[in-house]
Chains A and B, each alone.
Chain A
Amino acid sequence: MSSNFTKYNDEELVEYLKGNQKDASAAFRVLYDRYSSTVHAYCVKVLGYSDDAEDIFQETFIKFYKNVTNQTTKFNIKGYLLTIARNLSLNAKRNKKQTVSEEYLEFLYEENQKYEQKELLDLVNRAIDLLDEEYKEAYILKEYNGLEYSEIAELTGITISNAKSRVFRAKKKIRDILQPYLKELT
């Protein structure tokens, strides 16, 4: 039963992944419970809510499972999963040029409308889509995936200060884009 495996840490679960099928199933379920939301959020935020995002999400865990048994050294599962997701997403994005403009936010906004959480979330998502890719990714890794700046730096291959700067600029831009709508909230 999976519940028996929740007590194990990531390293121990990885060891079980290398064992028999029953233990591997149980261990994988626990790891999936721990990290699927993070990986899924990354995929749908970077690629948008699309079949591509779902495909990348699935492929990430499949690759993870197939590769993890060959890992002999300790490693960060969350970082490893996000690295796989990132690489797959980058490949997917090469074949697909996203064209988003600020104009499409206009139709969402109506004067004097009281925005609820759902509408605000929609606006935030649209604002995120307007960010440049490097800012967008850093923002997603920080706000959605809860990574530290050092982890973002390591994952994306930039310096910590650069990671911090990207996140800051992304936040500022989102705040600026949403400024007229946020007034309605306050």
Chain B
Amino acid sequence: MNNFELINEFLDGALSSTEEEQLFAGLSSDSELRYELKQQLAIKSAIKSDVGAFTPKAESTLSIFNELGLIAPVSVASAGAGNSFVNFLKLNSTLIYTGVISSIATIAVMLLLLDFDMTNSGNSSDHNPKHSSKVDLIKPVETYGKNTLNSGIYEDKSSLKAEPVKVVYKYIYVNEDNKNKQQNISDLAEDNNQNQSFSSIWIDNQQLNDEYSFFDKSIYKSKQGNFANTEVIPIANLWSEFSQNKNFSFEVRGSEYQQNDIRTSNKNDFILPNTGFSFLYKISDEMKIGLDYRRENFYQSFSGFEDGQYFLFEQKPDLVTISMMLKYNPEFLQIYEFKPFLSANIGGNIAGPVGRLMIGSDIYLNNYMYFNLGVDYNLLMYKQNGNNFISGKPGFHIGAGINF
């Protein structure tokens, strides 16, 4: 066995203990043998240092995981830094495009089918709720005085009467709920007959509060019988037994919206007067897409200019809003059972298109049940008397979900 063979066998671990002893003895006296050992060790060492060979490119790693629809290792994702979102978009491009196109189509259909101009249907006396799918009753415009904008809005009745201002008040009542429709219309008609008891809601605070609480109760009655129960959860539980992959999620939530107008922000008698649920499909470990259904009972007021006049709209909508929802739970933000999320909705209701952006966190109890908390900002676009308006409001949400 020559020196090369001897060292090669040694490095392969193929020498017997006796041969090893002979090798070690030879190394102390044979410079050629030492030289051979150094050479072979240098080659082995060089190979071990071949980081380029042993380290896949981050792009390759991402490409593999993306192709398979799996979540890449965090180290690779962070190495991709700003590219992670781009990679996510690439990975889910088909689904995202589908979602966006579906949303746009949904909105387009709604715009075509629904008449967002709430005044087009005429005044309340022309409206026949029995034959209409929507009720958009509008109190006839009340005009007071001239040439003052909002200075008179918060004044009491006596001051308005004493010094009329040119402010147009409109009361818009939108209610899609058939059970309450008739009652609400009757209420409004009755109030119409009582001559400006609605339009002058700002005139007498006590009167205002009484009237709103009346309507609130009417609306909440229908709400309480619908979504504020947990009957859906056992059904979802049942489904989960038949599905191991848990690709679907069902979420229910209660919400509280905040209107910036201080005087009108506390019109709701109940905590979390808004309810909703979402049905979502998991397209990856981090992303879900689906439909969101919300019944929104909230009071809001907003103002604007119309034909050079300042006006105040007040709404007590009882709207059903349906939207496409995209929910993103980035894994790198997950801490224990807290899974922060960002969700975006685009859809519409009887009044117009709606967009929402929410941040919050899911808090998992186990693999398939979780609670969630979130805050969002909601934008509603609508048309009134040919004018386009945008109403924005923040909201707080608390809910629960189940994966199945």
**Considering the complex, which residues of chain B in the window 82-136 have a beta carbon less than 8 Å from any beta carbon of chain A?**
none
Q: Known: A121-B47, A143-B47. Contact between A25 and B60, CB under 8 A?
A: no
CB distance B60 to A54 under 8 Å?
yes
Residues of A within 8 A of B282 (CB): 21
CB distance A21 to B70 under 8 Å?
yes
Q: Of B52, B61, B71, B246, which is within 8 A of A25 by CB?
A: B71
Count A-B contacts at CB 8 Å: 110
| CB closest chain-B residue, reference A44 | B53
Bound form: Cα–Cα A179–B283 in Å: 57
Is A86 in the interface zone, CB < 8 Å from B? Answer: no
Q: Known: A2-B73, A58-B67, A168-B8. Contact between A175 and B39, CB under 8 A?
A: yes
> How many of B's residues come within 8 Å of A, CB to CB?
41
Q: Known: A20-B246, A21-B247. Contact between A37 and B56, CB under 8 A?
A: yes
Is B35 in the interface zone, CB < 8 Å from A? Answer: yes
CB distance B43 to A175 under 8 Å?
yes
Is B46 in the interface zone, CB < 8 Å from A? Answer: yes
| CB closest chain-A residue, reference B70 | A25
Bound form: Cα–Cα A121–B43 in Å: 8
CB distance A40 to B54 under 8 Å?
yes
Residues of A within 8 A of B22 (CB): none
Residues of A within 8 A of B42 (CB): 120, 182, 185
CB distance B246 to A62 under 8 Å?
no
Bound form: Cα–Cα A25–B73 in Å: 9
Of B54, B56, B285, chain A has the most CB atoms within 10 Å of the CB of: B56
Chain A residues in the interface with B (C-beta under 8 A) = 2, 19-22, 24-25, 28-29, 32-33, 36-38, 40-41, 44-45, 49, 54, 57-58, 61-62, 65-66, 117-118, 120-121, 123-125, 143-144, 168, 171-172, 174-175, 178-179, 182, 185-186
The 7 closest A-B pairs by CB, nearest first: A37-B54, A41-B53, A25-B70, A121-B46, A40-B56, A20-B245, A120-B46
A-B contact pairs, 6 of them (CB 8 A): A25-B65, A54-B59, A120-B46, A121-B50, A125-B50, A174-B43
Chain B residues in the interface with A (C-beta under 8 A) = 4-5, 8, 35, 38-40, 42-47, 49-50, 52-57, 59-61, 63-65, 67-73, 244-247, 282, 284-285
